[in-house]
Amino acid sequence: MLHYFGFGANTKPADGPAVKKEEPVRALPASWYSDDNFYNLERRAIFSRRWLFMTHQSRLKGPGDWLRYDVAGYDLIIIRDRAGNINAFHNVCRHRAYPVVEKEGQGTAMILACRYHGWSYGLNGKLAKATGFKDMDKAEKEQNGLFRIHTKIDTNGFIWINMDSNEEPEVPWEEHFDGVDIQERYKQMNFDDYELDHTYELEGDFNWKALSDNFNECYHCPTTHADIPTFLNLDSFDSDLKDGHIQHHCEYTPEQLKKGLNALSTYYFPNTSMTISPHFMMIQKFLPSGAKKSSMHYEVYRNKHSSQEDFDVISKTYAKVMSEDKVLCHNAQKNINSGVYVTGQLHPKHEKAPIFIQGLIREAVSEHFKRERMEGREIWPARQQLPANATVSMEDVEICQGIACTPGGIGYELCEAFHARGLHVIATARNPSVLAGLAGKPGFTCLSLDVTSQGSIDECRDEVARLTGGRLDMLVNNAGRTHTVPATDLDIDDVRATFEANIFGVMAMVKAFARLLIPAKGLLINLSSVASISPYPFGSAYCASKGAVNSYSRTLRQELRPFGVRVMVALPGTVNTNITVQADRQLPPDSLYRPIEDVYKWRLTFSKRISSIPPASYARKLVADALKPEAPVVLRGLLGTLGLCRPDWHYYGGMAGTAWLGSCVGEWLTDTIVYRMFKLPLLEALLKRQEAEARKLK
């Protein structure tokens, strides 16, 4: 996913667009508007973590009044309780996830009851009744209330929510919106004078950001909105870029002011705007339901002191403009989906607001993505936090998280390559959904497997034994993780996780599946790396784990030889996969390598950058050599090197030849090449200069 973050890098995300006057900049890439994986990243990084402007408290007049919304797949309700407080909850029964409110839109209920098993909740979200649970104590009841969503009512009565499941949201409202509700220009408006007139919704096949980009510029207005000049002076239109929001403004003629057409519009990151004029107020929300599908949701309020005629003039004009915007965004998204358009130039003045919003989006997703890479997992802020006594549930959850045999990786391509040779392939992954491209195809069986969980390994082995009648012709151990950190900066718990995946997982798999390989006199392939025999700077933990694979496999070859099971070790060089794991690691502040931090960052993506060998090519080569005939032990080394039989040690990929030659000639050759290749002489020279300068000062 790192390739998502390569576009528009000349746009400053937080403080406004870092662009020179009149210098065009690049828009966000098309993939950000169409890719399902990226949409889910936005759900994690933005919609479940940031504060969202939702509605006005006047819509919830009495106890039990509720509103229901769907925001990026999160079904939620906002409700006023008996004490007059406004609460928000996920519309999810704590028992088995059925919605507690099934009606769309709005309504009134004095109790929130689930029609699935009869659990019910008070308006404050507390569990009132759990059918059949007569012995549930007070503490358990407290733990089984509705999933609460943080709320804030600002100075003007607008309701904000934050779906972060922590006791306090990680991002305080004040961090991005402090003072947004007390803008100087709001002093001329009395928000209590406005009451809801109607709501409506426009659904379409477009990404929510297409709507945001469109709303936040009027560059397109002269071309597509013929009615706008009647109530907007386009020449004076401008936008003030604030932290977390945009204030749009323009000048008005005396005639426009007399008619009450002067409107104050604010866009609140990420997806809501509020426009208010003397006769009219509109809350506009862009609510995504997928990467390519969103709704334009409108709440239109009328000033109770205004005439119907005055209200209709501006209300109907806005409705017409929004319907025109829907067509614009639909047609643009259609071409984005076609795959031709990648990115375009934006005007630094007329489109400065979209540039600003895109920068905020880039900042939010980049920051969250880096955190996920560092922790090696997806971080879903809105997700339920299990209580400390839910250990079994937590183990169940963890089985489905983590490394996957993803398309574009070596493991996935090996499945395709073996299948192309006429073999039935049992493909495994911690999350089987990533094998969707293989599932259902003739010749493939897809199973769940976590090599760091003995229970998962045993279940997989039993299922494989059932499918194969207890005979397995070949086992390929491919699971693993990279680890690029200087030896002096290593976190030992992180190192343990690497060894758990790279070597302990291999050992556990061999122990579990050896008895299936023996009846078939099968072949065991363990994937190591040329890093196991070559000094790979900043990869000491990874090199050590792969070196352990080599030593283990060499001894294993002897132990399994009497049973007719052969052991082959694959040592891939650099392969140009589409997966760059943990490429956003950072050096700690006190690292010895801070002086050459740019070299370290260069090193993080070194393997991907220098290799021209696609994973499919690597997989075909490995499979072809693995299926070659057996040769006598005494001749296997020579014949395997010549490609005349299956080798015990398989070298292929970028730098594989250099590593193999170095192992034959002597360590000095590889050491010399690698030391210079990874620019360590720069650090050596720098340290020598510092030592010399220190001596001069004495």
Give CA angle at 156 (151, 157), nearest 5°.
40
- Those residues whose C-beta lies under 8 Å from the C-beta of residue 135, and which sit 6 or more positions away, are none
Tell me the CA distances in angstroms from 497 to 87, 335, 376, 482, 509, one per residue in order. 41, 44, 10, 10, 17
The runs of H, that is alpha helices, within 104-207 are 138-143, 173-177
Amino acid at 316: K
DSSP state of 387: P
Which candidate in 542, 552, 593, 600 is catalytic? 542
Of 99, 90, 100, 95, nearest in space to 133 by CA: 95
Do the Cβ atoms of 239 and 218 come closer than 8 Å? no
CA 29 vs. chain centroid, Å, equals: 16
Do the Cβ atoms of 15 and 360 come closer than 8 Å? no
Which candidate in 33, 412, 546, 618 is catalytic? 546
Angle between helices 597-604 and 680-697 (to 10 degrees): 170
Tell me the CA distances in angstroms from 567 to 75, 76, 264, 649, one per residue in order. 52, 55, 73, 9
Determine how many CB atoms are found less than 10 A away from the CB of residue 439.
13
- How far apart are the C-alpha atoms of 113 and 118, rounded to whole Å? 7
Reply yes or no on whether 546 is catalytic.
Answer: yes
Q: How far apart are the first and last CA of the chain?
A: 52
Determine how many CB atoms are found less than 10 A away from the CB of residue 235.
9
218: left (phi over 0), alpha (psi -120 to 50) or beta: alpha
The dihedral through the CA atoms of 117, 119, 123, 124 has a sign that is negative
Burial label for 1, CB within 10 Å (0-12, 13-18, 19+), is middle
- Those residues whose C-beta lies under 8 Å from the C-beta of residue 105, and which sit 6 or more positions away, are 67, 68, 199
Reply yes or no on whether 126 is catalytic.
Answer: no
Rg of the chain taking only CA atoms, in angstroms = 31
- How far apart are the C-alpha atoms of 576 and 376, rounded to whole Å? 21
- How far apart are the C-alpha atoms of 601 and 691, rounded to whole Å? 26
Q: Which residue has the tokens 């959850």?
A: 397
Amino acid at 641: T
Q: Which residues are catalytic?
A: 542, 546
